[in-house]
Amino acid sequence: MRVALDTNILAYAEGIGDAPRCARAIQLIEELPAELVLLPAQTLGELFRVLIGKAKWKADLTQVAIMNWADSFEVADSSWSAFQAAMDLSIDHGFQIWDALIMAVAAENRCRLLLSEDLQNGFIWRGVTVVNPFAAPSSPLLDKILHAG
């Protein structure tokens, strides 16, 4: 079962945010099997913006962080068909276009889960379920991945 990560999970793992969420994001990333994790390229672009803009990191250090993420997990490019699907998702469900693109790339790459704090927890589209890993109770699908093996 493949899992896509949204930008906020990566940002928390980089220490941007409150301590409990940062610790939970790090724990998730350590527990998820790396071969199941997908990073839509859009999330890395947004993380670059967050680290430079909000966190005021230096550009060269931000680039190193982005490259480390890309070295650790599969990165999926945004295709034209994913962008077209994202427009439909945005129109049909009111998503912001960039959030919709992340969801569409996750679906295009056969992810079952999209871990995100920003999207509607439990929302399902094209087989992808949005899971807020900070919400209680925890998702049975996420628990299944974390406790497999």
Find how far residue 58's CA is from the centre of its chain: 23
Closest CA to 102 of 10, 15, 1: 10
Instruction: Identify the structural domains of the chain with CATH numbers, from first to last.
Output: 2-146 (3.40.50.1010)
pTM of the model: 0.95
149 has a pLDDT exceeding 70: no
Which stretch of 4-13, 23-32, 64-73, 140-149 has the lowest confidence by average pLDDT? 140-149
pLDDT, mean of residues 41-70: 97
pLDDT, mean of residues 1-25: 97
Which stretch of 36-40, 107-111, 139-143 has the lowest confidence by average pLDDT? 139-143
pLDDT, mean of residues 36-41: 98
CA distance 122 to 145: 16
